[in-house]
């Protein structure tokens, strides 16, 4: 595993990405025996253990001590004891300035369980689709036994804190990385777990609010002149001066418009924009592909108003906007563009890179 990731680099990667890259760089994780049950190759199980321990450390390093305290019933469990032990080791390496003192093992274990559960679910999905290993019946529901079912399916102990016993030597190099202390002391963006699902920006219910915002938007490169085609990024909310030579930028040796350039910094080449003065949604994929999509704003008759020609008041349709957001979350934007260009060849001739 050290050939694929250095011990320090692995800690900074997304835990899911680290697991996927590690497994795909080797042979498959699961092999089926004659009984049809999944078994785990010992070498690849070590990779899974390593990434899981790294994620445990990530969760504990981002633990918020200011959360409301809750009473704990009964004696301290083994999970709570080992969680406190791991947190104490991390605190010894980083110091009290980075990690506060926490005496409640129950709160720590509760935080770890909530933070690691999405990783376990994603890892189980990855292994299922990669190897077609049938999940147990308990894993198909949302009952109280899901944690045990996930750990069993992934060949992990139900008490994940037992894993770090075999990886103690990695704690110090992870914690001593200068970036860790810097972020924990407020020198960067601290990502907490479990992470919230990504979503598009909130749009106003009344379209006139967007029109007023667009009318006051000035081109950032033309000395205060009004933008002819103000375009709102639905991913981050940035207003752009689209379809204008003034805001063209060079990307990979080619001059592209503001929207196309923005996709490479905001959406890894995929962009969703609302052309405010046209009441039109723009999908962009790379430099040469794009299409127009019905906007989420409708009039009182349930119709869109392309180009704002009718001038009827427009209001946000939540169902339409959720459909756009679902396409984005499911990585369906490029597919929609492909289908649109196949059905309408005139879209292929448009110079999308200049938008």
Residues 218 and 179 occupy one common structural domain: no
Q: pLDDT tens, 158-207?
A: 899 998 888 888 888 888 888 888 888 877 777 888 887 889 999 999 99
Cα atoms in the Cβ-side hemisphere of radius 13 Å centred on 318:
1
Q: Which tokens belong to 141? A: 């529901």
Residues 126 and 214 occupy one common structural domain: no
Residues 177 and 269 occupy one common structural domain: no
For residue 330, tell me if it sits in a domain.
yes
- What's the pLDDT score for residue 34? 40
Residues 128 and 234 occupy one common structural domain: no
- What's the pLDDT score for residue 311? 86
Residues 22 and 167 occupy one common structural domain: yes
The residue out of 154, 185, 216 marking a domain boundary is 185
- What's the pLDDT score for residue 322? 95
How far out from the chain centre does Cα 241 lie? 27
For residue 80, tell me if it sits in a domain.
yes
Query: How far lies 145's CA from each of 61, 139, 141, 142, 194, in Å?
Result: 27, 8, 9, 8, 20
Number of domains composing the chain:
2
- What's the pLDDT score for residue 70? 54
For residue 1, tell me if it sits in a domain.
no
The answer, yes or no, to whether residue 270 has pLDDT greater than 70, is yes
Instruction: Mark out the alpha helices in the chain (DSSP H runs).
Output: 7-12, 15-24, 42-61, 78-94, 105-131, 146-153, 171-176, 178-182, 207-215, 258-266, 318-329, 333-343
Q: pLDDT tens, 6-60?
A: 444 444 456 666 666 666 655 544 444 444 444 445 666 778 888 899 999 999 9
Let me know: does 89 contact 173? Beta carbons within 8 Å.
no
Let me know: does 82 contact 106? Beta carbons within 8 Å.
no
Residues 342 and 218 occupy one common structural domain: yes
Give the residue numbers spanning the domain of 97.
Answer: 13-27+40-68+75-185
For residue 35, tell me if it sits in a domain.
no
- What's the pLDDT score for residue 28? 47
Q: What's the mean per-residue pLDDT of the chain? A: 81
Residues 159 and 214 occupy one common structural domain: no
């Amino acid at each position: 595993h050290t050939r694929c990731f250095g011990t320090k680099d692995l800690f900074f990667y997304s835990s899911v990405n680290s697991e996927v890259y590690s497994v795909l760089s080797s042979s498959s994780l699961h092999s089926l025996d004659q009984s049809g049950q999944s078994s785990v190759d010992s070498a690849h199980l070590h990779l899974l253990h390593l990434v899981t321990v790294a994620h445990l450390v990530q969760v504990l390093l981002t633990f918020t001590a200011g959360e409301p305290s809750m009473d704990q019933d009964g004696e301290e469990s083994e999970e709570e004891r080992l969680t406190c032990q791991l947190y104490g080791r991390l605190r010894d390496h980083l110091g009290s300035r980075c990690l506060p003192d926490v005496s409640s093992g129950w709160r720590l274990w509760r935080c770890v369980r909530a933070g690691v559960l999405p990783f376990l679910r994603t890892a189980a999905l990855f292994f299922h689709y990669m190897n077609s290993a049938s999940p147990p019946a308990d894993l198909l529901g949302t009952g109280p036994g899901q944690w045990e079912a996930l750990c069993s399916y992934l060949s992990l102990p139900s008490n994940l804190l037992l894993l770090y016993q075999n990886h103690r030597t990695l704690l110090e190099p992870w914690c001593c990385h200068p970036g860790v202390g810097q972020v924990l002391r407020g020198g960067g963006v601290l990502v907490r777990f479990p992470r919230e699902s990504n979503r598009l920006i909130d749009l106003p219910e009344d379209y006139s609010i967007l029109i007023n915002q667009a009318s006051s938007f000035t081109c950032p490169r033309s000395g205060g002149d009004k933008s002819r085609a103000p375009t709102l990024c639905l991913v981050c909310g940035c207003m752009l001066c689209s379809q204008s030579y003034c805001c063209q930028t060079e990307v990979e040796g080619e001059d592209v418009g503001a929207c196309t350039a923005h996709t490479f910094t905001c959406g890894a080449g995929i962009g969703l924009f609302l052309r405010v003065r046209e009441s039109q949604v723009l999908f962009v994929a790379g430099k040469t592909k794009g299409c127009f999509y019905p906007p989420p704003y409708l009039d009182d008759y349930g119709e869109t108003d392309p180009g704002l020609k009718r001038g009827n008041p427009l209001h946000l349709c939540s169902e339409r906007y959720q459909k756009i957001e679902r396409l984005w979350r499911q990585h369906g934007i490029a597919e929609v563009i492909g289908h649109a260009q196949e059905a309408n060849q005139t879209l292929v001739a448009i110079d999308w890179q200049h938008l």
